[in-house]
Chain A
Amino acid sequence: MPIIEIKNLRKAFGGQEVLKDINLKVEEGEVICLIGSSGSGKSTLLRCVNLLEIPDGGSIVFNGTDILSQKVNLNKLRTEIGMVFQNFNLFRNLTVLGNLILAPMKVLKMKKEEAVSRARENLRKVGMEEFAERSPETLSGGQKQRVAIARALTMNPKVMLFDEPTSALDPEMVGEVLEVMKDLAASGMTMIVVTHEMSFAKEVATRVIFMDQGIILEEGAPEEILTNPQEARTKEFLKRILKQ
Chain B
Amino acid sequence: MKKLARYLNVILFLLGAISLFFSLKVLNQKINPGEISATYHAKFLFGYFALFLSVLGMLFSLWLLFFRPQGEIVQRIKNIGFWALFGFVALYLLEFVVFGLVNSFIRVSEMTRIPPKDQFLDSMVFIILDYPDDFLKGVFMTLELSLVGTLIGLLLGMVLVVLRIMQVHPQDNEAVALLKKLGVGFSKLYINVFRGTPMIVQAVIIYYLLPSLLAEWLNVPISQIDKVLTISLSGIIIVSLNTTAYLAEVLRGGIEAVDKGQLEAARSLGLSYSQSMLSVVFPQAIKNALPSICNEFIINIKDTSVLNVIGVAELFFVANEAQFRYYRTYEPFIIVALIYFVLTMTTSKLLGLLEKKLNLPAKTLPSSN
B-binding residues in A (CB < 8 A): 50, 52, 54, 70, 75-79, 81-83, 85, 87, 89-94, 102-103, 106-107, 135, 137-142, 144, 148, 151-152, 155, 168-170, 173
Contacting pair A140 B367 (CB below 8 A): yes
Contacting pair A79 B269 (CB below 8 A): yes
Contacting pair B170 A91 (CB below 8 A): no
Among A92, A106, A140, which residue has its beta carbon within 8 angstroms of that of B271?
A106
Determine the distance from Cα of A173 to Cα of B368 in the docked complex, in whole angstroms.
Answer: 9
CB proximity to A under 8 Å, residues B260-294 = 261-262, 264-272, 275, 279-280, 283-284, 287
Contacting pair A103 B269 (CB below 8 A): yes
17 A-B contact pairs sorted by A residue (CB < 8 Å): A50-B268, A75-B272, A81-B268, A83-B268, A89-B262, A89-B265, A92-B262, A93-B283, A106-B275, A106-B279, A107-B271, A137-B367, A139-B365, A140-B366, A140-B368, A141-B368, A152-B268
Contacts of A70 in B (CB 8 A): 171
Contacts of A151 in B (CB 8 A): 269
Number of A-B contacts (CB under 8 A): 95
Asked if B361 lies at the interface with its beta carbon under 8 angstroms from chain A, I say: yes
Contacting pair B264 A135 (CB below 8 A): no
Contacting pair A138 B364 (CB below 8 A): yes
Known: A89-B261, A89-B262, A102-B269. A168 touches B364 (CB 8 A): no
A140, closest chain B residue (CB)? B367
Known: A54-B171, A137-B362, A141-B368. A78 touches B284 (CB 8 A): no
Contacts of A79 in B (CB 8 A): 269-270
Asked if B110 lies at the interface with its beta carbon under 8 angstroms from chain A, I say: no
Among A75, A85, A139, which residue has its beta carbon within 8 angstroms of that of B265?
A85
Among A94, A137, A140, A155, which residue has its beta carbon within 8 angstroms of that of B270?
A155
Contacting pair A102 B271 (CB below 8 A): yes
The 9 closest A-B pairs by CB, nearest first: A141-B368, A89-B265, A79-B270, A103-B269, A89-B261, A83-B268, A93-B283, A170-B368, A107-B270
Contacting pair B362 A102 (CB below 8 A): no
Contacting pair B265 A91 (CB below 8 A): yes
Contacts of B369 in A (CB 8 A): 141, 168-169
Q: What is the CB-to-nearest-CB distance from B82 to chain A, in angstroms, rounded to a whole number?
A: 45
Which of A79, A93, A170 has most chain B Cβ within 10 Å?
A93
Contacts of B271 in A (CB 8 A): 75, 102-103, 106-107
Contacting pair A85 B368 (CB below 8 A): no
Contacts of B366 in A (CB 8 A): 140
Asked if B118 lies at the interface with its beta carbon under 8 angstroms from chain A, I say: no
Known: A141-B369, A170-B368. A78 touches B270 (CB 8 A): yes
Known: A79-B269, A140-B368. 4 other contacts (CB 8 A): A83-B265, A91-B265, A138-B363, A139-B367
Contacts of B284 in A (CB 8 A): 92-93
